[in-house]
Amino acid sequence: MNENSRQNMAPAKVGQYRPNLAFYHANARGTGCAMKLSLHPAHDDTDGCIMVTMANQLTIGDRSSPNPVYPRFDWDGRLTVKLDFADLSSIVQVFRGERESVGDDKGLFHQTASFSTSIFLRHIVESGSCYSFELYRKSMDGKEDSSARIVLSDTEALGLCLAIENSFGVISFGIPMLVEHDTTAYRRETRRARNAAAA
């Protein structure tokens, strides 16, 4: 490769990490829901997870006009839950067909000082195969209850299952550094141990 060719080549772009996935399911009754999933890699002493945020449909919208108005979702009243390694393993079992629901239809249960959250994922076969994902939240003082539910098609469930499965390495071990690690100390200790063994 000559010098001119090297000068004309654009520098390679570093791939961007995209940690979010979203599903928007609005309907004409205004009872739809949106769900966002955010991947948080493990780092240092912190385990990785996927944060799930759900928002119920707020407006129906109108797409028939020349200037369409799209449905809006109640992100101010959103529900958010953290799914850890064990939670995600249970969810993948349902998507794979190994179980019909998480927690043997009792769901998964999370509790904080302020509220408790129940998480349900069920395989529904009565009216065509699909998956129902639901969050129910109760405040510990009993003053506020909220819920959100989204139905995923077989195709969406398959894609989400694959996305979760492929995220387990990042959730468990984090993202490998893209720069070289300084292994000087490690190599020095290895050499010292090898020399001591040979003596």
52-96, pLDDT tens digit by residue?
999 999 999 888 888 889 999 999 999 999 999 999 999 999 999
Asked whether the beta carbons of 24 and 34 are under 8 A apart, the reply is yes
Q: In whole angstroms, give the CA distance from residue 179 to residue 14.
A: 12
Domains and CATH numbers, the chain: 18-198 (2.30.31.10)
Which range is least confidently modeled, 95-109, 118-132, 185-199? 185-199
Q: Is the pLDDT of residue 4 over 60?
A: no
Q: Read off the pTM.
A: 0.78
- Give residue 160's Cα distance to chain centre: 9
- Give residue 184's Cα distance to chain centre: 37
Q: In whole angstroms, give the CA distance from residue 123 to residue 109.
A: 19
Asked whether the beta carbons of 47 and 134 are under 8 A apart, the reply is no
Token duo for residue 154 = 């077989």
Output DSSP code: residue 90.
Answer: H
Residue-averaged pLDDT of the chain: 87
